Amino acid sequence: MFCYFTLAFLATLTVYLGSKLNKKSKSEIISTEEASIFPVFASIALVSLFILLRYLPKELIKYCLKIYIAFVGTNCIVQLFETLFHRKESPSLFLKIIYWILAAIISITYCYTENWIANNVLAICFCLVALSSVSISSFKTASLLLIGLFFYDIFWVFGTSVMVTVAKQIDAPIKIMAPKVDDWSQFAMLGLGDIVFPGLFVSLMQKFDRKNSSLYFHTCLAAYVIGLGTTMFIMLFFNSPQPALLYLVPSCFFSVIILAYFRNELKQLINFELK
């Protein structure tokens, strides 16, 4: 049980921090068109990875991934440092060198050891950079994206073995991990998509909140925790992998819909768009 509490804590903390960073940073906007086709491109990427795992030597894929992670992970950590500490002005050359050295140490440590702690550091950095640099354009667009990913997750987990196979066989920080107390060689896992996409919705609710209020943000964040708890309970009860978005999407979505209905703000919520 402790490993699942660890995953829930790390995921919730990442969503919270990412939302706060997004509020204070300039971000790219996901349009309705991009949201509508994203599940299709995600499916193509997933199937491509599955085919590569099936027909190419695992060691070759592992070697290529490590090279990719070393570069992308290092750049991502540096970007996070700059977002955290230098929102208004660029860091000095000396600080940039320090950031690159620290980032390289973390990335290389993961590549050489594949340690689960280094994995989580990189994975959380990826999530924070994504949450701080990307926003969804409107509530309707967010709804379209989450509904598409809802069915995407259900199909690829329950309909085929593709997603589970990719998650287990690819040794890369595409998931956060926590070792099981009774066997430290076994890990509980949560995919980054189960953090980033609900996190983008939570972040949007933060923008919908009026000044000096965070009711929708906190409600949606609490719903995210409930959705995670439900996912893990069902996973333990049936002893089988679960599509987390099956529980996270309805939990987050309906929590704010119900809140808006009782506050007579449903129309404003549905028509909300970023300016």
Residue numbers annotated as active site: 153, 194
Query: How far, rounded to the nearest angstrom, does the alpha carbon of residue 124 sit from its chain's CA centroid?
Result: 8
d(CA 214, CA 183): 41
- Contact in structure between 176 and 12 (CB atoms under 8 Å): no
d(CA 153, CA 123): 20
The three-point CA angle 115-116-118 to 5° equals: 70
Residue 95, by phi and psi: left (phi above 0), alpha (psi -120 to 50) or beta?
A: alpha
Length of the chain: 275
Q: What are phi and psi of 31, to 5 degrees?
A: -85, 170
One-letter amino acid for residue 18 of the chain:
G
d(CA 206, CA 97): 34
d(CA 246, CA 147): 10
Tell me how far apart the terminal alpha carbons of the chain are, to the nearest angstrom. 43
One-letter amino acid for residue 3 of the chain:
C
Directed axis angle between helix 116-133 and helix 58-85, to 10°?
Answer: 50
d(CA 56, CA 50): 10
Question: What three-state secondary structure class fits 30?
Answer: strand
